[in-house]
Structure 1
């Protein structure tokens, strides 16, 4: 046991607390028997497995257990046998069990059952990150009808005494009960009704931060969560939190200055609390909309915040490393004498602290300062003050802009706003005017008007105004967007929740749809009402589309990528809705026989931001009643088309099903095949060339592709096919009234429809011979294939691809500026439409 004696001596030289206790034979023997064993939660359970009937022995036993657990934690931590996460997890678990055991010991004498009494852990214990010399923050409560206040108070006092009374064996925990309603003057054990009323009507901002970490140790977790969640997490994005936490930090700093405790690694500059403030601010801002952020543990929350892209990888990595280092340092300081202190010691104790890291004191301080500087840099950047934006601009460059703002300030609506909000809005208008002047935006771009309308729309929602004040760069991004796109400003006006996404570090647009599916389904199943579920999906769709649009406006992705992603987003919402309905129907076999086919722009993956979804519902007969598939189709249609506060998910067009709007909502595969082969019009076969299965298992997808291929390779007479397509196009020409100076990119001769009809002619005529023409890979790929098969000339292929790309780009630009038609100046197209129409006529006239 030479190594044991050596290790005990080593740990005793670093921890005076450990050195005192190891002189006790019982503790020495405990350390000897556990010396080479792994240390985990099961050891905590064994240490607390004693059974005693009298109070004296009970109090002694829980103190002895605490000393043993703490000694072993110190030993294993300093010997690097366990990590920081293990230390706080094990010690928090011990606290949970000892509280539960103490409650159980006294509860019987008060005739109190655990379902009628509540012990709620707050702070570090609530987050399961208890430090080794921490007190524990507890809130007691009782069920409304089963326990009177006097009984509850007496029981709570017994528990508190048992935990914190200091005798020859020490104490277990100091208990802080000041976080309860009204603090020290409030009821020790309030009822649940009282808690609900208090937080609904009187709860203060700092209490929201405190309740983030709440965790029920005794009692019904769901009851407390349902009661407290609406108080902690707002339904909107709560950016006023930033200024409120900033003010709280100022008070802490002032208090530290007065007490000369700036070397406090918890509360001082670059300390643990600054990391906690960053984490809690993001949780409070976004947690109302994103339940995944409602975590208790700081490291787990930090990880989730990184996943949600509220922090970039470097910020997350730095904060995590700094947090673990500071928490380890906090423990090592407290290992010295088992005292709750967060001050960096001096002289010999600093040497002992440094020794625990195998560093000298100078090296340790250098490393500590580096971490604290990193933390404070991020903290200052996150909580930068409003004064950085105010007063920088004191006039308007454009008198018309000033007049517009002056008129707003005289309106009745303006007078309803708070003074603080009015001042912030004026600041934003001045910044807007300045940006237009500096960047030399033209009058006809109407940048000021667009952004003015946005600010006026959200003016009563002070959180969004606060956001722009806090993040001026994001506001400048809005101004840049307005110079390029009216559509995106209108989109933000309709869905201001998207303002939050301006903070996200976008980079490449990469979405793991499989992972997103699992997370979204988890949230949908947790949400309790249909309205919440529908709104959540709509908000998620707006978010995905907005991120895509931002990248396109910045010029970071091409049109083809945008169309592909928009189609992938639509596929995701089809599949997540079906995934949710599967849970509700509890009949997986039913869905194994159900398929959805995408048509049109959706089927061909050529969607724009405002595209609706052309879909057809199919099923395979496998013993299920048709009405069951009709029910699925109706449910999905309701989920997509129902109008909520967040709008619709997608407009659905179901008219391409067999017999159109007069046909059945769902068709069997056999009926669909029969209709396509025997009754369908030619235009329906053209539409089928752009169709694909967007939901369905492998067997059903294969069945649809077989039907599609069979229909598209159906023998046709070339002249009859030419005549029918040409007559159809001629009819469209006659119903369209072209404008002399404008060119309709879609409908005019030589427009997009000419190109699509020409490609569809070749697919229907030649796919029997050239199987690659059956691939639904988009018009550009098909034009390349036609050239490869020498069905069209090389110069014709170049012409059609050039025109097709240009037309789609121009249509997309028009859509981004809210133009509902497809008209452009005819002169801009030069001779291109004429050449395209000549090509079309050469094959089809």
Structure 2
């Protein structure tokens, strides 16, 4: 079978033909290798590498590495050409071999020079030092092509000296080690070459030192790192063994804390330079660098990594294919677009490899000769070159189209002509009278706008803007007026837009986004023009501007389970970085709240449905936080925490609003002696994570006062202690609260235990008159602090609180006969159940249901939209009257 595969592949590679004809291949070894993908173990078993290192036998080491490379090359090309290996296997196999070759050379070089000069010792720590080898570009992403060069950077931990008799400084020692690696891998000998080694990506390129310390690398990245180097370091991967990890040095340089739309400009500039080089050298047939080529697919993936990778740690990955797939999961790319880009990328990379298989040359240029063209086409599964070219061109056209949409030159704004007439609204040389005339001519109220513009111009923030930011602001302002003019209240909208711009004025990349993406600016004008709450929310979290560009705002049918899974993955990708994890939670929650609020503003949700969604969001955040914190706690007594979170109040009743706090109680079911102490530690940390304000903003206010014994009680109690408290010590108001409580997340045993306790308590038989008296008394206690005003739908006589108390009374009074009342269906549904059971009048129940629904809608819209003050009208008063009638029927009293 081996010979069959070799003969099948032979016509497509003169390199393979030479190896076979000169009998330079071990066919018995290939017999084994061709049946499966290669691994590092295969390379390690190929020759006695350790013996050569100990013997310092450089000639044998050099020769064996090259012989191994020959066999690896033939194995890869034969499996690929015979359709036994996908692209991912091809690129992974050659990258694994490159890692092995470099690390074997590193082991040899360090041993060789330690024998001469002693071991390098850190001057500060006194620890033995080892070289960190960083693979850049395709090597870093496990995406090497078969004839690729390898881009390396050499870093060592700290300055110092070797401890031998012929002492050398660490920089001298590691320079020699680096030079030896390059020689062992890169020199051309009678056996050929392992890999061409390219060191030009190191700081200062060819003019820089061959090796540098970690502190020198950090200094360089902070003070001199350029935009193209950020792009290069995306794929940077430490390939050498050992504990050295430079991720903490590189990550802040590559991935900005905030959304970085400046990356568009930097990537465009880099691509433009490449295009110019391609044009100069007549490389239009280059499938890597030409239009629609491999580089453009990589740029599409990496620009999103640069922009969003600081917030979405999952995007901090090295491989192009995986990144394109992840962009779909994160709703940044459409699935169809990603699939076509992946198909194009694989086709282009397969073509690239076949060009290189031909004669082991590093080329990405399509052949000129008809003979070679036909061979290439046939190796790709086509009968002729024309058929191959047609499919290739389709792929390249699609790639170039997407590239132009995502990263092309700044498109001409379709509103440019409209914005021209508003250009005069932002002219430094115009006096207030002239400005007033211009504003009034376009339908704006002049005075408040002029005051706001003058305040910005006189602010220190404006005066200290960079030239770039000034330019971007000047370009944006006319479009701001144009967008506001299309809204219902142009003056109100433009003032809010100006206020918003003032909050982001120092983040010029956001200004660039709004100028480049007119649809985002129009959406922004619509949103903040209609909602002061959303205007304030965006001002606090301008990172949400990015959501205006994607499709997420239109996604109503949301998969919370998949979304929570993605959030958990993002948290894990933070690798224990607490600040990053807390920020990731906040970015996620803010984005979801923003999505729901915008859809709510557009009338896509009922009040009940939006509350369900906000409650599902809180459940997701609580569950993710619980899991992440427990896995990060030290000295825990169990792998899976036997604790649960119980939601009370609005969280328990799934009636959360946009700014609701979370009433939660913690219960555990764990007999271990360390359980209470460990869970208390967990709760302290969890409440901090939820309630602390970080650079990314706030999350939730957390209230733990509904736990047994309130503030004087323990942070968490066992299920049995919770049962005992509820049976023996709890007040009636605590049983009222229990009617709206539900298990949110945690251990299933706790869920079962809690539900049993809840059912037992709620189905107790109670004295109806005594219950009425206690509930009325509890309601009366609220009046001094929350007087029953008609413009307060929550506390008015016949308002929200009264409906809730009525439902709680019905549950506590009748669940011993009708246990279905204990189901946490919400107040509206429970009123209907009570009516169906004959406990209250059907018409009064329906009227009260409508009243409660109306109250929540009024309350909700007064927060979301601009009518913060509730309008007291006949409809509202009628609803109050209905609920008061129901109250009288239940409690036999007027208040």
TM-score between the two structures when normalised by the length of structure 2? 0.87
The aligned counterpart of 1:126 is 140
Out of 851, 871, 880, the residue aligned to residue 833 of structure 1 is 880
Contact 2:287 2:365 (C-alpha < 8 Å) held by counterparts: yes
The residue correspondences of 1:124-523 to structure 2 (distance < 5 A) are 124-143=138-157, 144-146=159-161, 147-218=169-240, 220=242, 222-346=244-368, 347-359=370-382, 360-386=384-410, 388-389=412-413, 391-392=416-417, 393-396=419-422, 397-400=442-445, 403=450, 404-405=452-453, 408-438=456-486, 440-442=487-489, 446-506=492-552, 507=555, 508-512=557-561, 515-516=565-566, 518-519=568-569, 521-523=571-573
Give 1:798 shift. 2.3
Contact 1:4 1:35 (C-alpha < 8 Å) held by counterparts: no
The residue correspondences of 1:663-674 to structure 2 (distance < 5 A) are 663-667=713-717, 669=719, 672-674=722-724
Contact 2:560 2:620 (C-alpha < 8 Å) held by counterparts: no
1:805 matches 2:853: yes
Distance 1:85 1:115, change over 3 A: farther
Contact 1:22 1:28 (C-alpha < 8 Å) held by counterparts: no
Structure 1: distance between partners of 2:818 and 2:298: 64
Pairwise CA RMSD? 2.9
Distance 1:647 1:178, change over 3 A: closer
Give 1:277 shift. 1.0
Q: Deviations over 1:154-194 (max 9, x none)?
A: 33333323323323322221111111121111112233332
In structure 1, runs of 5+ residues without a counterpart are: none
Contact 1:17 1:336 (C-alpha < 8 Å) held by counterparts: yes
In structure 2, runs of 5+ residues without a counterpart are: 120-127, 162-168, 423-441
Contact 2:571 2:584 (C-alpha < 8 Å) held by counterparts: no
Contact 1:181 1:198 (C-alpha < 8 Å) held by counterparts: yes
Q: Deviations over 1:265-294 (max 9, x none)?
A: 111111111111111111111222222211
Contact 1:177 1:183 (C-alpha < 8 Å) held by counterparts: yes
Give 1:631 shift. 4.3
The aligned counterpart of 1:12 is 10
Give 1:457 shift. 0.8
1:643 matches 2:643: no
Structure 2: distance between partners of 1:35 and 1:519: 36
The residue correspondences of 1:60-139 to structure 2 (distance < 5 A) are 60-111=63-114, 115-139=129-153
Distance 1:541 1:356, change over 3 A: same
Structure 2: distance between partners of 1:457 and 1:292: 29
Question: SS where residue 498 of structure 2 aligns?
Answer: helix
Structure 2: distance between partners of 1:355 and 1:590: 56
Question: SS where residue 172 of structure 1 aligns?
Answer: coil
Give 1:761 shift. 1.9
Structure 1: distance between partners of 2:521 and 2:267: 22
Structure 1: distance between partners of 2:63 and 2:668: 70
TM-score between the two structures when normalised by the length of structure 1? 0.92
Give 1:790 shift. 2.2
Contact 1:78 1:356 (C-alpha < 8 Å) held by counterparts: yes
Structure 1: distance between partners of 2:175 and 2:687: 55
Contact 1:738 1:744 (C-alpha < 8 Å) held by counterparts: yes
Q: Deviations over 1:287-321 (max 9, x none)?
A: 22222211112212222333222222112111111
Distance 1:617 1:335, change over 3 A: closer
Q: Please, which moves more after superposition, 309-318 or 719-728? A: 719-728
Question: SS where residue 80 of structure 1 aligns?
Answer: coil
Question: SS where residue 665 of structure 2 aligns?
Answer: strand
Question: SS where residue 25 of structure 1 aligns?
Answer: coil
Give 1:607 shift. 0.7
The aligned counterpart of 2:430 is none
Contact 1:524 1:580 (C-alpha < 8 Å) held by counterparts: no
Distance 1:232 1:488, change over 3 A: same
Structure 2: distance between partners of 1:172 and 1:646: 48
Structure 2: distance between partners of 1:17 and 1:630: 67
Q: Deviations over 1:707-746 (max 9, x none)?
A: 323332332333343344345545656776566xx64322
Give 1:618 shift. 4.0
Question: SS where residue 598 of structure 1 aligns?
Answer: strand
Give 1:84 shift. 0.9
Structure 1: distance between partners of 2:287 and 2:101: 29
Structure 2: distance between partners of 1:271 and 1:664: 63
Structure 2: distance between partners of 1:834 and 1:464: 51
Give 1:82 shift. 0.9
Contact 1:123 1:137 (C-alpha < 8 Å) held by counterparts: yes
Out of 752, 762, 765, the residue aligned to residue 715 of structure 1 is 765
